[in-house]
A and B are shown apart, each in its own frame.
Chain A
Amino acid sequence: MLNSRILSLEEAAASIPDKSVITMGGFGVFLQPMAMVREMIRQGKKDISLLSVGEAYAGDLLIGGGCVKRIALSSFGFEAVTGRARNFCKAVEQGKVEVEDYSHFSMASRLMAGAMGLPFAAVNSLRGSDLLEKIVYEKKFEKMKSPFSGEEVILLPSANPEIAIIQAQRADSEGNIQVFGPTISIEQQAKASKRVIAIVEEIVPRSTIQSTPSATLLPSLFVDTLVVLPYSAHPMSSYGYYDYDLEHIYTYTNASKTPETWKKYLDEYVYGPSDHFDYLKRIGGLRKIMKLRADPLLGY
């Protein structure tokens, strides 16, 4: 859609109905839509279904905020930093969310097929594993012999989420979205989805985009809503803009160990702040922001 609309974080979150099927951008400690997730929790979203690749922190926070009912995912873990994503793990162990597992490549392939307007994807992974055996709530796959070579492939249904929530570095006011760094699954997630909400660090002139067009991952015709908010991926990184906040990540993961400490975390960093800028004050204010700000040479 041309002339995409710039909304506030609050307005954009308000446009996400309960029970939506959403996918969120980001991967590892990189480009996850954290400010949007905090606002969705503040607004009390319910029964969200996630179609996820590796947006573990955004997913774990949304689950910890009580917003999620179903998850089809390939991985929700915090890697080397702190291991398990505890809100996610506990919700599954306690039967509070339904879960269906894929591999990264098979989930990305489902989104790729969705983005290409095709009904299914064909992959060569998953064979012989329990990813094809333990099936909960979907017709998960079909095997088919290629009509051309006779080679057998695994078919997976395409994925078309209702809403993609994408975190990126910058855009022009039309909503041409530029991403710096690996593009992870952002392009497939956005193009597969019926509606795209993008959150960026800053708006730049159209001429800046025109002089760096190879960094444009999503042309504005795929972007329905644009939110402009600096440090909105915190505590994740935005390559070229700021580093991840390891200190706050540890605060988060320690807090998620017990229901009491988790409630305190939500009160302090999600329900307590009057807005995103108040949140930034609470995580350490200008001093922390200057510390996280990227070295222009290193990008972190």
Chain B
Amino acid sequence: MTSQTPFYTYDEIMLCVASAQILDREVALIGTGLPMLAATLAKHTHAANAVMIYESGLIDTNPIEVPVSVADPRIMFGTTTFASLYSTLGLLQRGVIDVGFLGGAEVDQFGNMNATAVGDYTHPTLRLPGSGGANDIASLANRVIILMKHEKRRFPIKVSYNTSPGFLNGGNSRKEAGLKGGGPSKLISDLAVMDFEPGSHRMRVRSIHPGITREQIQDSTGFDLLWAEDLNVTTAPTKIQLEIIHQLDPKGIFLKNN
């Protein structure tokens, strides 16, 4: 362990890569879970002027502790605008959200996501929370960043319920369906960073996290992945990033495996 490559977990590399997707001065719509910590990290590092928006009706949040919920009082303190769910998610429709974050139970080869039900919809084997703002973000944000744990059952060839549209059946099908947002631009898992190949819109590996092999990634995926020609290794978290996320999450609500 040196100061350049400190010890980190797979959750932490996911988090730091996700955080880097928010550029300074961008407008980002933050969903629940790891994205909340990624957004807070971005705000405390490279994107101090980014505007973070939460669907509960919070615009421009500036928390000093990490929230457990998109309606946690920890993001109410220090925010500049209290609004409604209708008006904050309405910003998506207005086209002002640069980047939105999504997680889910399943993602397929075209970036469609399931957050609703596994199995038959009316009699599911596993019922999940449902869309929340996910469908709205997937439909309308200019860019969508997906965060997923990389497991075969979570990466089926086709999702059993399409809650949040990605590139639908690939090719031009997303555009033809009239979806206005740009669709998923990156998928960050605990093994790799992926995007969607222009044209076919099939999932393609762009970078592999340090210490992970191609075989591991393909074996944890339920369909054939494409591989970028300039495939590289994901940038590891910096010592400062790690220090900040542990200051923000001292109780380990998100960073449980430490």
Instruction: Say yes or no: is B70 at the interface (Cβ < 8 Å to chain A).
Output: yes
Q: Please, what's the 1-or-0 string for A71-113, where 1 marks a CB less than 8 Å from any CB in chain B?
A: 0011111011100110011101101000101111110110010
The interface residues of chain A lying within 8 Å CB-to-CB of B132 are: 54, 74-75, 77, 103-104
Q: Are A124 and B128 in contact (CB under 8 A)?
A: no
With A54-B85, A81-B68 in contact, is A74–B131 under 8 Å at CB? yes
- In contact, A298 and B77 (Cβ under 8 angstroms): yes
Which A residues are in CB contact (< 8 Å) with B21?
none
The residues of A that contact B161 with a CB separation of less than 8 Å are 130, 134
Q: Which residues of B contact A88 (CB under 8 A)?
A: 127
B89 at the interface (CB under 8 A from A): yes
Interface residues of B in 28-62 (CB under 8 A from A): 32-33, 36, 54-58
CB pair A27 B126 closer than 8 Å? no
Which of chain A's residues have a CB closer than 8 A to the CB of B116?
A: 101, 130
Contact among B69, B89, B127, B128 for A28, CB-based, below 8 A = B69
Contact A103 B133 (CB under 8 A): yes
Query: In the complex, which residue of chain B has the Cβ closest to the Cβ of A134?
Result: B121
Structural contact, A300 and B77, CB atoms closer than 8 A: yes
Are A105 and B136 within 8 A (Cβ)?
yes
The docked-state distance in angstroms from the alpha carbon of A50 to that of B128 is 17
Inter-chain CA distance A116–B70, complex, in Å, is 27
B73's partner among A30, A79, A125, A126 (CB-CB below 8 A) is A30
A129-B124 CB under 8 A given contacts A27-B56, A76-B130, A104-B131: no
Does A182 lie at the interface of the complex (its beta carbon under 8 Å from any beta carbon of B)? yes
Residue among A77, A105, A246 making CB contact with B86, cutoff 8 Å: A105
The smallest C-beta distance from B156 to any residue of chain A, in angstroms, reads 14
**B233 CB–A CB distance under 8 Å:** no
Q: Nearest chain B CB to A244's CB is how many angstroms away? A: 8
Contact of A181 among B82, B126, B139, B177 (CB under 8 A): B82
Asked if B212 CB lies within 8 Å of chain A CBs, one says no
The closest CB in chain A to the CB of B117 belongs to: A92
Chain A nearest CB from B102 CB (Å) reads: 12
Task: Knowing A27-B71, A80-B36, A128-B177, say if A182 contacts B254 (CB, 8 Å).
Answer: no
Whether A239 is near chain B, meaning CB under 8 Å from some CB there, is: yes
Contact string, B54-95, partner A, CB cutoff 8 A, digits 1/0? 111110000000011111111011000011111011101100
Contact residues in A for B128 (Cβ distance below 8 Å): 77, 84, 89
Task: Determine whether the beta carbon of B71 is less than 8 Å from that of A30.
Answer: yes
Q: How far is the CB of A263 from chain B (nearest CB, A)?
A: 21
A152 at interface, CB cutoff 8 A: yes
- Taking a contact as CB atoms closer than 8 A, the residue among B56, B92, B177, B180 that contacts A182 in the complex is B56
Cross-interface CB contact of B131 among A28, A75, A239, A294, cutoff 8 Å: A75
Measured as residues with beta carbon below 8 angstroms from the partner, the interface class of chain A is 35 or more
Q: Choose one: A90, A93, A126, A182; the contact of B71 (CB below 8 Å).
A: A182
Nearest-CB residue, chain A, relative to B139? A125
Q: Which of these binds chain B: A13-21, A183-191, A280-288? A: A183-191
Annotate A169-199 by CB proximity to B: 1 below 8 A, 0 otherwise.
Answer: 0000000000001111111100000000000
- Against A, the Cβ 8 Å flags (1 = close, 0 = not) of B154-198 are 000000011111001000011001111000000000000000000
Query: Would you call B134 and A103 a contact (CB within 8 A)?
Result: yes
Evaluate contact between B86 and A188: CB separation under 8 angstroms: yes
Contacts of A244 in B (CB 8 A): 69, 72-73
With A30-B71, A129-B165, A182-B58 known as contacts, the answer to whether A104 contacts B136 (CB < 8 A) is yes
- Given A75-B129, A81-B69, A104-B136, 10 extra CB contacts under 8 A: A27-B85, A75-B131, A77-B132, A89-B126, A95-B123, A103-B133, A127-B178, A152-B178, A183-B84, A184-B85
29 contacts between A and B (CB under 8 A): A26-B71, A28-B32, A29-B71, A29-B72, A30-B69, A73-B130, A76-B129, A76-B130, A77-B32, A77-B130, A79-B70, A80-B32, A85-B129, A93-B125, A104-B136, A105-B85, A105-B89, A105-B93, A124-B93, A130-B121, A130-B163, A181-B82, A182-B82, A182-B83, A183-B57, A184-B71, A237-B72, A298-B73, A300-B77
Residues of B whose CB lies within 8 Å of any CB of A are 32-33, 36, 54-58, 67-74, 76-77, 82-86, 88-90, 92-93, 116-117, 121-136, 138-140, 161-165, 168, 173-174, 177-180, 253-254
Q: Which residues of A are in contact with B by a Cβ distance under 8 Å?
A: 26-31, 53-54, 56, 73-77, 79-81, 84-85, 88-90, 92-93, 95, 99, 101-106, 108-109, 112, 123-131, 133-134, 136, 152, 181-188, 237, 239, 243-244, 246, 294, 298-300
